[in-house]
Amino acid sequence: MLEEKLNTETTNRRGVIKLWAGLLGAIAGVFPVLASLPMIFDPLRKKAEKGKWVRIASLDAVPDDGVPRIYPVLAERVDAWNKFPSVRIGAVFLRRSQDGEVSALNVSCPHLGCAVDYKESGEKPEFSCPCHNSQFELDGGIKNPKTTQSPRGMDTLEVDPEKLKKGEVWVNFQNFQPNKKEKIAVT
């Protein structure tokens, strides 16, 4: 009987020790998991940017002859946990008038997202989409609504007037959803 009592006490003690060891192990294992959750879900918590101010060129690099010229848009790209410095994220047409005003248009066609070309041939210079032959005015508006497939004119982008005064062209660059009547930013 004494031997049975000792075996029972030993079994109970071992059970308690196992229970405590398991409980402490579980608590110790929870901390690293909880600490890693914010890092794991960080890309999901970030909200998409509604445009990004990007330096395109110095003002001197944009001729004041009113002819649109294409400039690459280089910026840091963040893809989940990776950062890529100075990556081409798009392109813009910059047009500078003789009075120093600068306008910017996204080169992506609002119809299907093809790259729009600038043409000086014909009676009047124009932008043209090689994918579906739509023509746009120099201000980005639709040239002939009856013959174009584009739902809207080219996407204008905001130019920072304060930076222009300092001799730099900064554009609030963003892409928009193609084939929509209204400008909806791509997130």
Q: What is the pLDDT of residues 2-13, one digit of tens each?
A: 566 556 666 677
Average pLDDT over residues 127-147: 87
User: How does residue 105 score in pLDDT terms, banded at 50, 70 and 90?
Assistant: very high
Of the pLDDT bands very low, low, confident and very high (cuts 50, 70, 90), residue 42 is: low
pLDDT at position 162 over 90 = yes
Residue 40 C-beta-side C-alpha neighbours within 13 Å = 6
Closest CA to 131 of 155, 149, 151: 149
What confidence category does residue 72 fall into, taking pLDDT thresholds of 50, 70 and 90?
A: very high
Residues 150-155 have a mean pLDDT of 90
Hunting for tokens 């998409």 — which residue is that? 48
